[in-house]
Amino acid sequence: MLVNEKIAIEHGLKSDEYKKICKLLKRTPNITELGIFSAMWNEHCSYKSSRIHLKKLHTKGKKVIQGPGENAGVIDIEDGDAIVFKIESHNHPSFIEPYQGAATGVGGIMRDVFTMGARPIANLNSIHFGSTQNKKTKNLLRGVVHGIGGYGNCMGVPTIAGQTSFDRSYNGNILVNAMTLGLVKKDKIFYSKAAGLNKPVIYVGSKTGRDGIHGASMASASFDEKIEEKKPTVQVGDPFTEKLLLEACLELMSGDSIIAIQDMGAAGLTSSSIEMASKGNLGIEINLNKVPCRETKMTPYEIMLSESQERMLIVLESGKEEIAKKIFDKWNLDFAVIGKTTNTKNIELFFDNKQVANIPVNTLVENSPMYDRKWKKSKLPKKNKIDKTTLKSLKIKDTLKKILSSPNVCSKEWIWQQYDHTVMGDTIQKPGGDSGVVRVHKTDKAIAATVDSSATYCWAHPLTGGKQVVCETWRNLISVGAKPIAVTNCLNFGSPEKEENMGEFVECVQGISEACKYLDYPVVSGNVSFYNETKDIGIKPTPTIGGVGLIKDYKKMITMDFKEIDNIVLVIGKTEGHIDQSLLSRIILNENNGPPPEVNLFNEKNNGLTLLNLMEKNFIKSAHDVSLGGIITALSKMCLKGNKGIQIKKPNFLINEIEYFFAEDQGRYLIEINAKDLKEVSKILDKNSVHYDEIGKIIDKEMIIDQKTKLTIDELKSYNTNWLKSYMD
């Protein structure tokens, strides 16, 4: 097939990008080569719109062993142990085929982690759906949850935490972000950099089929009404094979046979081979007839662009082929020597004894397009003038009921009960807490992980929103007693070709970077998902942050359930009464404008570290961060989890009671302490200039707000736990 500009454009390339290809090659590419360029140069693989801005992220720190640029990030957790982790999106496929889209998203991220030699020890996910009124939402939610469970449960990796939200802006584009953490010895980490000449290049795992061809290109385009026709580009997952692949790879990794290893994810054999060659500054020669194929008569083009799952590419030490083959035979997986490393610095493909592609590796990687797209700075919206009489007319009990049972606050038990969260026998904090926590097997250490996003805040003001999400994950980790170490980010946005969307991206990234830098909480891995829009309607900017922290002694882990009657509850951090963009404002007052709550990084850091200090001294019995729905919502959750009540005493403030209870000011926590420790705790808080109020005392089975307003724990439970289940039934 002769290639021309029209065919290039059908491959998603722009006219000037095609011209650049011809110029770099000094000739017209053939169809296989064009396919390879289109796969490497699409947004998903090349980060062409985001690269220039991602450089600004804060990525360094004392605990960082590997930052962005590898299959996943790696952090040091002492004693020779390291945690490998990353989050990735699988948004587009999940909208088209929710079960397989979500399942292969989970499979892909786990592969990224075990490619580096780490055994996956925990999965998390952040999933976002359209309005609960939208007729597609229910099926999409059901399919995605089944898919995540179907894959993760079979792999035997616990799903320990997650986030689910509903917002109209996801009606035509749901988000499915999957995160995995793995455990590895610091001196047994594997990388994707090839080295040495004439080293065998090995293909292992499943056979290659025609599924997923051009999946990465699909993820780099917006949707239109013909989206259902794209079903064949969604890959099909096989968690059983992945489980075998995991065990086989870890078995091979325990020896010294591997030089470099890379999973075949987006753009399959193309990106994995090119990545390894590029990092090693080498060439690679592949005989495509040697690639194990599932279907007959597959062309070089199809073999190179297939996104069949559960496959790996390995550069082996010469002479280790037999040892490696024996392991993969034991696990019943395909094993084939398909090529070798060369000094040409080209990727050379052969098929039926003919050369079918010959491309300099640097043209695909270093010379890939990079755009400094136009972007629009957003202004901080004006504060709303909230009518005090409207606020005063609200009944606390009714308002709380509506908030506790609202889709974004209600219990997500219906979802996480479908995920195996206890396999591997080390889950010490299950979903439903501030962070999931797993022990580091056979040690006293534990790893806490959380995932969060706040699209509403980011939409109202991207810079503040970006900071806020980072701080929210920081607080989630602190609340379980973990010292936050690093984050991974999944940046979900609309089209970068629109100035508003690009502006949201640039400013969210800036906010993330500022917060990460201030908190010494670097970004070590991540991915970008643009073009989350259908028929020109984009999603709200949704950067998702996955935070990871360390608990040195797992017995000191904190949970949010109230522990003991007569203990005192303190609010840490100042309550100013910020209502704009709060849940109260949006679902009770029907007001969607105004600025998000301000983020004060000094307070965030100071409050968090002071709490860790108090936890170290065993003063804190339970803790929970204050987020959506404010203090009263957070208190309700502590009550219903602990099956205990609270006698609230509202501190003397100038702000209205409703504002005090429902405001979403940042940097706040609720902590439970023993009354006898109050003096000592106050001293430490005062010394560190941490603002606190005493909000009440724990009592039995009832939340008493004032003499007229009382709620039983059973009432709180029924508001919070029933909504999702009855919605789905």
Partner 1 sequence: MKSSVITFPGSNCDRDMDVALTKFGFKNKMVWHNDQELPKSDLIVLPGGFSYGDYLRCGSMASKSKIMHSVINFAKSGGLVMGICNGFQILVESGLVPGVLLRNKYLQFICKNVHVKVDNKENTFFKNLDKKVLEFHIAHNEGNYFCTNDQLKEIEDNNQIAIYYCDQNGNTNDQINPNGSIKNIAGIFNKEKNVLGMMPHPERMIDESLSGEDGSIFFKNLLNNIK
Q: Do 108 and 179 contact (CB within 8 A), yes or no?
A: no
Least distance to partner 1 from the beta carbon of 310, Å?
A: 11
Verify binding: residue 327, partner 1, rule CB under 8 A.
no
Residue from 195, 323, 394, 423 in contact with partner 1 (CB under 8 A) = 423
Residue from 133, 296, 332, 707 in contact with partner 1 (CB under 8 A) = 332
Verify binding: residue 419, partner 1, rule CB under 8 A.
yes
Verify binding: residue 123, partner 1, rule CB under 8 A.
no
Least distance to partner 1 from the beta carbon of 472, Å?
A: 26
Q: Which stretch binds partner 1 (CB under 8 A): 282-290, 411-419, 497-505, 652-660?
A: 411-419
Verify binding: residue 420, partner 1, rule CB under 8 A.
yes
Verify binding: residue 154, partner 1, rule CB under 8 A.
yes
Least distance to partner 1 from the beta carbon of 408, Å?
A: 22
Which of 58, 90, 92, 578 does the annotation list as catalytic? 90
Residue from 128, 421, 578, 621 in contact with partner 1 (CB under 8 A) = 421
* CB-neighbour burial class of residue 187 (10 A; exposed 0-12, middle 13-18, buried 19+): exposed
Specify the residue, 446 or 508, whose C-beta has the smaller distance to partner 1: 446
Verify binding: residue 335, partner 1, rule CB under 8 A.
no
Q: Which stretch binds partner 1 (CB under 8 A): 253-261, 311-319, 410-418, 655-663?
A: 410-418
- In sequence order, the 6+-apart residues with CB closer than 8 A to the CB of 138 are 727, 728
* Nearest to 333, CA basis, from 253, 260, 242: 242
Distance (Å, whole) CA 533 – CA 17: 23
* Nearest to 548, CA basis, from 68, 75, 118: 75
Verify binding: residue 508, partner 1, rule CB under 8 A.
no
Verify binding: residue 331, partner 1, rule CB under 8 A.
yes
- In sequence order, the 6+-apart residues with CB closer than 8 A to the CB of 318 are 196, 198, 199, 200
Q: Which stretch binds partner 1 (CB under 8 A): 179-187, 390-398, 422-430, 628-636?
A: 422-430
Least distance to partner 1 from the beta carbon of 729, Å?
A: 9
Verify binding: residue 427, partner 1, rule CB under 8 A.
yes
Verify binding: residue 155, partner 1, rule CB under 8 A.
yes
Tokens (6 digits) for 18: 């095609």
Which of 44, 53, 461, 578 does the annotation list as catalytic? 44
Q: H or E segment at 571?
A: strand 568-572
Verify binding: residue 160, partner 1, rule CB under 8 A.
no
Least distance to partner 1 from the beta carbon of 307, Å?
A: 20
Residue type, 209: G
44 is catalytic: yes
Least distance to partner 1 from the beta carbon of 211, Å?
A: 17
C-alpha separations of 202 from 72, 336, 718 in Å = 21, 6, 56
Q: H or E segment at 202?
A: strand 200-205
Q: Do 496 and 509 contact (CB within 8 A), yes or no?
A: no
* CB-neighbour burial class of residue 99 (10 A; exposed 0-12, middle 13-18, buried 19+): buried
* CB-neighbour burial class of residue 83 (10 A; exposed 0-12, middle 13-18, buried 19+): buried
Q: What residues form DSSP beta bridges with 74?
A: 66, 84
Alpha helices in 306-450 (DSSP H): 321-330, 361-364, 388-393, 396-404, 413-416
Q: What is the layout of strands, in order, in the sheet containing 523-529?
A: 427-429, 436-439, 446-452, 542-551, 483-492, 523-529
Specify the residue, 561 or 598, whose C-beta has the smaller distance to partner 1: 561
* Beta-strand relationship, 702-706 and 542-551: unpaired
- In sequence order, the 6+-apart residues with CB closer than 8 A to the CB of 573 are 603, 607, 626, 665, 666, 667, 668, 669, 690, 691, 692
Residue from 4, 139, 281, 422 in contact with partner 1 (CB under 8 A) = 422
Hunting for tokens 């995540």 — which residue is that? 148
Q: Which stretch binds partner 1 (CB under 8 A): 26-34, 91-99, 145-153, 653-661?
A: 145-153
Least distance to partner 1 from the beta carbon of 425, Å?
A: 4
Which residues between 538 and 557 bind partner 1 (CB under 8 A)?
554-555, 557
Distance (Å, whole) CA 429 – CA 557: 9
Which residues between 365 and 404 bind partner 1 (CB under 8 A)?
none
Count of residues of this chain found to bind partner 1 when the rule CB under 8 A is applied: 32
Least distance to partner 1 from the beta carbon of 107, Å?
A: 13
Q: Which stretch binds partner 1 (CB under 8 A): 27-35, 221-229, 417-425, 626-634?
A: 417-425
Verify binding: residue 637, partner 1, rule CB under 8 A.
no
Q: Do 159 and 424 contact (CB within 8 A), yes or no?
A: no
Verify binding: residue 428, partner 1, rule CB under 8 A.
yes
Which residues between 223 and 252 bind partner 1 (CB under 8 A)?
238-241, 243-244
DSSP conformational letter for 431: T
Q: Which stretch binds partner 1 (CB under 8 A): 144-152, 183-191, 264-272, 356-364?
A: 144-152
Least distance to partner 1 from the beta carbon of 417, Å?
A: 6
Verify binding: residue 418, partner 1, rule CB under 8 A.
yes
Specify the residue, 417 or 510, whose C-beta has the smaller distance to partner 1: 417
128 is catalytic: no
Least distance to partner 1 from the beta carbon of 493, Å?
A: 33
What count of Cα atoms within 13 Å lies in the side-chain half-sphere of residue 537? 11
Q: Which stretch binds partner 1 (CB under 8 A): 73-81, 153-161, 262-270, 531-539?
A: 153-161
Residues marked active site are found at: 44, 90
Please report, as ranges, the residues that interact with partner 1 according to CB under 8 A.
146, 149-150, 153-156, 238-241, 243-244, 331-332, 416-425, 427-428, 430, 439, 554-555, 557
